[in-house]
Amino acid sequence: MSLIISSVATTALISLILAMIAFWLPSLNPDNEKLSPYECGFDPLGNARLPFSLRFFLVAILFLLFDLEIALLLPLPWGNQLPTPSYTILWASTILILLTLGLIHEWLQGGLEWAE
């Protein structure tokens, strides 16, 4: 019990010391450069919205779909929830067929073409 009390007391003491140092340490002499926001070389007064290609969004959605496919199919060899292995194979092939049909649909609609 004394170990717990000493650990809590040490932690509280260190926290109090660090808070006091952080309160007294900074020198408060603001100037124009310190008060202006850091903008990484961009004009802070210009337009913040840049045109964003919808193709990047489509690629991100397709990546998420196929990432989800991997997340669903990876634990199948260790899955004991399904009664027989044929159900496991049927479930995995259903997922693969649905995602393949979705990919073919995107391909035929021209969603994977980068240049318009």
Summarised one tens digit per residue, pLDDT across range 35-50 is: 777 767 666 666 667 7
- Residues contacting residue 99 through CB under 8 Å, at least 6 positions apart: 65, 66, 69
| Statement: the pTM of the whole predicted model exceeds 0.75 | no
Please check whether residue 84 lies inside any domain of the structure.
Answer: yes
pLDDT higher than 80, residue 103:
yes
pLDDT higher than 90, residue 6:
yes
Number of domains in the chain: 1
pLDDT at 18: 94
Please check whether residue 10 lies inside any domain of the structure.
Answer: no
Please check whether residue 78 lies inside any domain of the structure.
Answer: yes
CB neighbour burial string for 9-47, b if at least 16 within 10 angstroms, e if fewer = eeeeeeeeeeeeeeeeeeeeeeeeeeeeeeeeeeeeeee
Query: For residue 14, what pLDDT band results from cuts at 50, 70 and 90?
Result: very high
Please check whether residue 66 lies inside any domain of the structure.
Answer: yes
Please check whether residue 77 lies inside any domain of the structure.
Answer: yes
Please check whether residue 17 lies inside any domain of the structure.
Answer: no
Please check whether residue 32 lies inside any domain of the structure.
Answer: no
Range of the domain at 69: 54-109
